[in-house]
Amino acid sequence: MSELSDGWEMVIGLEVHVELATKSKLFCGCSNSFGDQPNTNVCPTCLGLPGSLPVVNAQAVQYAMTLGRAIGCTVSPSVFARKNYFYPDMPKDYQTTQYDQPTNEDGSLELPDGTVIGIERAHIEEDTGKSTHLGGGGRIHDATATLVDYNRAGVPLVEVVTRPELTSADEARAYVAELRDILIATGVSDARMEEGSMRVDANVSVRPTGDAELRTRCEIKNINSLRSLGRAINYEARRHVALYEAGEAPSQETRHWDEDGGRSTSGRSKEDADDYRYFACPDLPPLAPTPAELAAIDEAMPVLPGRRRSALASAAGVSMAETSLAVERGLDTFALDAIAAGGQGISVMKHVDQNLADGVGVMTAESFAALVALEADGALSATQVKTVLYEMVASGGQPADIAASMGFEAMDNSELESLLDQLIADNPDEWARFAEGDSKVQGFFVGQIMKATQGKADGKIVNQLMSAKAKA
């Protein structure tokens, strides 16, 4: 769904930087860990001291290739390159990255709704250090001093670059969420946006709907939450439309997203590749994975979220999108087991989504299936089912035993009916409104009955009784 005024469409390409879950850095033995005292995980190599030499981390390469295969890329022999630029958080004055021969190229990622997003490349590079600008607005321009922490310098990254194919903020968010789930499933990264182990640059442009040609883009750097990503994209696209409609045009530049202010601000005008004077790094040999190594990676690949969703969707009889939450919570195997044990698919999914956000605790799939059956039989009301469910999650046990020990028996319909008759007699005006079709008062009657029965009544049956009485 586009957030733009009529006649305009968005074009979005994402560059996602992912920190790999290695123990050590990309080219030295320093620890790769987040949150340590500044400048404690450093050595001559990651500080770029003269005479130091890099040695590539085999685990990092393994993770990068695993990610590449997980997103359908071709994994090819690759070459490290130097990207030359000066910045205080980059002690060598160049970043070791990959340029024209990246490890992974030409893949794709399928979103839960079936949309396929093309991936240009997913290359290996090192992270920079982290600058903290003091004073002013946290930006370098008006800073009084800048602190630099080199613990992050040389941390292994993979940068995953999409084709300019995303069409809305929602789609961009779904893409990043799916990539995060794949990273977690493969163990390649902990993908924690809030700790910066997954950072997103969003390239945004707009064009008249249906135009084939791409227009000038702006790149919003270092977005660190899904919420910011969506807001930043919508803001930026609207800014472009406003410029075009005023007879102006955006200029190609990087921009910063200001979450509090709800706007993006101009960064630097964007360098062209020429300005970086890329060349192959003479200190590092090319990477040449063997067919056996690639086969071993495919062999060890866990079942990915997309396949897990489709398996659960067909077992439960729901759509792929309706299985997202279960897969995200890692409850898909549990749900499949419960369905195999006789639990009705839609009810199983309803509980997994609505009542099991904190996991299943010590509850077994079989006892859960038994509870779902009790609910389907009408032996327990919805409120009672929830109470029993939470008890099973906390302490285990069988639903029938727990229900009995809690004194839950299904209420007799005739008992419910006489309660309802009493309520109608006590509240004739409300009842008249209900009978005339005002469904808003329905909740009042159900609520009163629940109160009188301490939640033992089955809301569905109360609703049925009310409709029957109103028609009678």
State the residues that interact with Zn ion by CB under 5 A.
28, 30, 43, 45-46
Residue nearest to ligand ADP (CB): 13
Residues in 46-85 at the binding interface with Mg ion, rule: CB under 5 A: none
Q: Which residues, 154 to 193, sit near ligand ADP by CB under 6 A?
A: 161-164
Minimum gap (Å) between residue 99 Cβ and ligand ADP: 10
Q: How far is the CB of 14 from ligand ADP (least distance, A)?
A: 6
User: Virtual CA dihedral for 223, 226, 232, 235, nearest 10 degrees?
Assistant: 180
Q: CB-wise, 108 or 453, nearer to ligand ADP?
A: 108
Six-digit token pair at 421? 């008759």
Size of the site for Mg ion (CB under 5 A): 1
151 makes contact, choosing from Zn ion, ligand ADP, Mg ion, none, with CB < 5 to 8 Å by partner type, with none
Other CB atoms closer than 10 Å to residue 136's CB: what's the count?
A: 11
Residue 345 touches which of Mg ion, ligand ADP, Zn ion, none (CB < 5 to 8 A by kind)?
none
Q: Give Cα 440 distance to the centre of its chain.
A: 37
Q: Looking at beta carbons only, is 220 or 450 nearer to ligand ADP?
A: 220
> What's the distance, CA 121 to chain centroid?
20
Binding residues among 297-326 for Mg ion as defined by CB under 5 A: none
The pairs formed by 37-46 with CB atoms below 8 angstroms and a separation of 24 or more are 38/147, 38/149, 38/150, 38/151, 39/149, 39/150, 39/151, 40/151, 41/151, 42/150, 42/151, 42/153, 45/154, 46/91, 46/150, 46/153, 46/154
How many amino acids of this chain bind ligand ADP (CB under 6 A)?
A: 15
Of the two residues 43 and 400, which places its CB atom closer to Zn ion in the complex?
43
Partner that binds at residue 43, options Zn ion, Mg ion, ligand ADP, none, CB closer than 5 to 8 Å by kind: Zn ion
CB of 233 to Mg ion, least distance (A): 16
Whether 430 and 441 have beta carbons less than 8 Å apart is answered as yes
Is the CB of 9 or the CB of 190 nearer to ligand ADP? 9
Q: Tokens representing 249?
A: 């045009």
Start-to-end CA distance of the chain, whole Å, equals 45
Give 24 or 203: the residue with its C-beta nearer to ligand ADP. 203
* Per-residue b or e along 214-226, where b marks 16 or more CB atoms closer than 10 Å to that residue's CB: eeebbbbbebbbb
Q: Does 22 bind ligand ADP (CB under 6 A)?
A: no
- The residue within the footprint of ligand ADP, chosen from 203, 228, 347, 381 (CB under 6 A), is 203
Q: Biggest alpha carbon distance in the chain? A: 93
Is residue 214 close enough to count as binding ligand ADP by CB under 6 A? yes
CB of 27 to Zn ion, least distance (A): 8
**264: contact with ligand ADP by CB under 6 A:** no
Q: How far is the CB of 189 from ligand ADP (least distance, A)?
A: 19
**In angstroms, rounded to a whole number, what is the distance separating the alpha carbons of residues 422 and 406?**
27
On whether the CB atoms of residues 20 and 63 are closer than 8 A, the answer is yes
Q: Is 134 helix (H, G, I), strand (E, B) or coil?
A: strand
The distance of closest approach from Cβ of residue 44 to Zn ion in the complex, given in angstroms and rounded to an integer, is 7
Q: What share of the chain is helix, strand, coil (3-state, %, to 5)?
A: 40, 20, 40
Q: Using CB under 5 A as the criterion, what x/- string covers residues 4-43 for binding Mg ion?
A: -----------x----------------------------
Cβ of residue 46: shortest distance to Zn ion, in angstroms? 3
Whole-number Cα distances in Å, 41 to 38, 46, 90, 126, 213: 8, 9, 15, 15, 47
The residue sitting closest to Mg ion, measured at its beta carbon, is 15
Give all strands of the β-sheet with 279-280 in edge-to-edge order: 94-98, 80-84, 279-280
When binding is defined by CB under 6 A, the residue of 11, 183, 304, 320 that contacts ligand ADP is 11
Site for ligand ADP in 67-126 (CB under 6 A): none
Cβ 254 to Mg ion, closest distance in Å? 9
Residue 111 interacts with, from ligand ADP, Mg ion, Zn ion, none (CB under 5-8 Å by kind): none
Nearer to Mg ion, 9 or 15 (CB): 15
Q: Are β-strands 253-258 and 130-134 bridged in parallel, bridged antiparallel, or unpaired? A: unpaired
Instruction: Give the shortest CB-124-to-Zn ion separation in angstroms.
Output: 17
User: Cβ(392)–Cβ(415) under 8 Å?
Assistant: no
Give strand pairing partners of 280: 81
Binding-site partner at residue 13 among ligand ADP, Mg ion, Zn ion, none, CB < 5 to 8 Å by type: ligand ADP
6: phi > 0 → left, psi -120 to 50 → alpha, else beta; which?
A: beta
414/433 Cα distance (integer angstroms): 24
Contacts with Mg ion by CB under 5 A lie at 15
Contacts with ligand ADP by CB under 6 A lie at 11-15, 161-164, 203-205, 214-215, 217
